[in-house]
């Protein structure tokens, strides 16, 4: 039967393109051209092809495929459309098995590809956090808290697997680094006119990049609520004893679609209110609280880069550091993370760590000549010692970053090993755990950029794939956990029980595996159907407006 279905799909796919020019992966968006990442200020790739399987290369648009062969019988037409849809629902990395095409060849990695991989793994650990913190509040505390809690999962390093707040810090540092990367390169080359163009483009497209996928995701939840997919999970929230951890915001089922739509509309309005610097957790997808934070911090970042763009590097660094300290003084931990990414990008470009091969980390870590080695060995200075120990030093920095990033979300001042970090946390921080986690995130990103050894963890195909779908995965994982996860865990623990630790973990492992598999599958679809086209739309809209209203012409 599977062979017959595959043959039918291939036969219908051949109606779209000749067999000798079959695209490797079919998509509903046939007219979507390859993305030029060099022009994308949000993700400043260099010498890098578009994301894998994101946009099939075909000259035939979806509308054309619908109207082709006017004499085609309706059953054949319907079968062809259904076949295209079914192919589209296949994960991108498996589509070549269905279409009979060849798998994509490995692409040349761009300079900061490791940060993509880091973002992907961080998003996966956010999923872990949101899955487990619903059923236990122990994910928030560290080992030895108040001399009572000594679980293995609460130990430093292991605690990061279930702690999501440090991952948000990593997201923001990466965003600050990536958004600064291309503007800083133009500044260093003296192309101030190009710097202005890059910042203008990035500012214009940033809101579209962040909000289009978010609004589409919220609309999908709205539709699911009205179709009844949240009815059972709503009962679990209101009547079950399953949720014994964090009972976060959950979709509310209102009495009519009209009222529900207005509630959804008001949610969108509040989500887009960047004048409110408070954290907004909406009922449809509370995890999107980071989106307005990302947007506001991005604007502050762009303004900062523009303000210091005409100064020399040392002056820029001083001014950027002063701005960062100012934000620390007033407890703006989110902007601090973005500005930290900016400063890291400045330092890395000044040190020239990206001047070698795409995955070369530090200019001191690359193998020197024999003469260079002799000079380094004979150098009595501290600098010579540091150069000889670059690999070990950056691995040590990475480990220290992981340790600081393991700082508990609650009760750090009562947790062995983190009391000293609590003491140096500025009193202005509204959430004290954000400060040590900021230090950890900065050290993690800095060590990855400067260590080719550590980069190997994040530049493999799996890490790069997770990085590609990370934003889509972040958007869809919450609705999956609320709609499916709540229902699953209530019924699974009805069977396995949850009185003992083994029963709790056994049931949780089953539910986690199911929810993760479905979330990754839907994230792949959302990435190709919404995320990538939204990037293309923002770029095309900018190009169209520039073509019609560019005052410089």
Domains of the chain by residue range: 2-99, 113-549
Instruction: Return the H-helix or E-strand segment holding 421.
Output: helix 419-424
| Angle, CA of 234, 240 and 241, to the nearest 5° | 135
Q: Which residue has the tokens 């950890």?
A: 440
Which are the contacts of 18, defined by CB distance < 8 A and separation ≥ 6? none
Local structure of 145: helix, strand or coil: strand
Residues 226/483, Cβ–Cβ less than 8 Å: no
Ranges of H-type helices in 309-389: 313-329, 333-351, 370-378, 382-388
Q: Which of 199, 32, 58 is nearest to 535 (CA)?
A: 32
In order along its 553 residues, the chain shows pLDDT tens digits of 445 545 554 554 444 444 334 344 433 333 333 334 334 444 443 333 444 444 444 444 445 555 555 556 777 777 777 777 777 788 877 777 777 777 777 777 888 899 999 999 999 999 999 999 999 988 888 898 888 888 888 899 999 998 889 999 999 999 999 999 999 999 999 888 999 999 999 999 999 999 999 999 999 999 999 999 999 999 999 988 899 999 999 999 999 999 999 999 999 999 999 899 999 999 999 999 999 999 999 999 999 999 999 999 999 999 999 999 999 999 999 999 999 999 999 999 998 887 754 444 444 444 343 334 344 444 556 666 767 788 899 999 999 999 999 999 998 899 999 999 999 999 999 999 999 999 999 999 999 999 999 999 999 999 999 999 999 999 999 999 999 999 999 999 999 999 999 999 999 999 999 999 999 999 999 999 999 999 999 999 999 998 877 665 5
CA–centroid distance for 194 within its chain: 28
Q: How many helices (H) and strands (E) does the chain have?
A: 23, 0
Question: Would you state the pLDDT for residue 551?
Answer: 61
**pTM to 2 decimal places:** 0.82
Quote the tokens at residue 414. Answer: 């009562």
Question: Would you state the pLDDT for residue 546?
Answer: 87
Which are the contacts of 273, defined by CB distance < 8 A and separation ≥ 6? 280, 292
Question: Would you state the pLDDT for residue 74?
Answer: 73
């Amino acid at each position: 039967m599977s062979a017959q279905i595959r043959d039918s799909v291939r036969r219908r796919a051949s109606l779209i393109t000749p067999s000798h020019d079959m695209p490797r992966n079919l998509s509903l968006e046939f007219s979507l051209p390859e993305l030029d990442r060099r022009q994308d200020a949000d993700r400043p790739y260099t010498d890098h092809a578009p994301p894998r399987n994101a946009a099939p290369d075909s000259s035939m648009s979806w509308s054309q495929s619908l109207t082709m062969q006017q004499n085609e019988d309706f059953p054949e037409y319907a079968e062809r459309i259904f076949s295209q849809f079914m192919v589209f629902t296949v994960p991108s990395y498996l589509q070549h098995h269905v279409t009979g095409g060849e798998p994509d060849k490995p692409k040349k990695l761009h300079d900061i590809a490791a940060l993509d991989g880091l973002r992907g793994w961080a998003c996966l650990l956010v999923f872990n956090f949101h899955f487990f913190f619903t059923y236990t509040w122990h994910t928030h505390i560290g080992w030895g808290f108040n001399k009572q809690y000594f679980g293995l999962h609460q130990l430093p390093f292991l605690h990061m697997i279930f702690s999501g707040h440090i991952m948000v810090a990593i997201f923001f540092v990466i965003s600050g680094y990536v958004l600064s990367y291309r503007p800083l390169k133009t500044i260093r080359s003296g192309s101030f006119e190009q710097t202005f163009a890059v910042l203008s483009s990035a500012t214009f497209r940033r809101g579209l990049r962040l909000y289009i996928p978010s609004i589409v995701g919220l609309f999908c939840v709205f539709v699911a609520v009205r179709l009844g997919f949240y009815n059972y999970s709503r009962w679990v929230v209101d009547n079950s004893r399953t949720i014994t951890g964090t009972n976060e915001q959950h979709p509310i089922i209102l009495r009519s679609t009209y009222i529900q739509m207005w509630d959804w509309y008001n949610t969108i309005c509040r989500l887009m209110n960047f004048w409110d610097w408070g954290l907004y957790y909406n009922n449809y997808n509370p995890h999107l609280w980071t989106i307005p934070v990302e947007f506001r911090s991005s604007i502050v970042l762009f303004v900062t880069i523009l303000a210091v763009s005409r100064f020399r590097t040392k002056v820029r660094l001083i001014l950027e550091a002063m701005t960062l300290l100012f934000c620390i003084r007033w407890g703006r931990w989110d902007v601090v993370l973005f500005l930290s990414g900016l400063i890291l990008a400045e330092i890395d470009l000044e040190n020239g760590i990206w001047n070698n091969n795409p995955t070369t980390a530090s200019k001191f870590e690359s193998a020197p000549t024999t003469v260079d080695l002799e000079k380094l060995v004979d150098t009595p200075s501290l600098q010579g010692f540091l150069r000889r120990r670059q690999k070990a030093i950056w691995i040590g920095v990475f480990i220290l970053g992981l340790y600081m990033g393991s700082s508990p979300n609650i009760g750090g001042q009562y947790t062995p090993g983190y009391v000293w970090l609590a003491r140096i946390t500025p009193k202005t921080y509204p959430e004290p755990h954000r400060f040590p986690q900021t230090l950890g995130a900065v050290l993690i990103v800095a060590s990855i950029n400067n260590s080719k050894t550590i980069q190997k963890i994040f530049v493999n195909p799996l890490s790069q794939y997770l990085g590609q779908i990370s934003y889509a995965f972040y958007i869809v994982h919450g609705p999956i956990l609320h709609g499916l996860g709540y229902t699953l865990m209530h019924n699974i623990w009805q069977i396995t029980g949850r009185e003992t630790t083994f029963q709790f973990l056994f049931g949780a492992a089953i539910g986690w595996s199911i929810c993760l598999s479905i979330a990754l599958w839907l994230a792949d679809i959302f990435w190709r159907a919404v995320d990538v086209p939204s990037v293309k739309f923002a770029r095309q809209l900018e190009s169209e407006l520039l073509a019609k209203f560019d005052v410089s012409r």
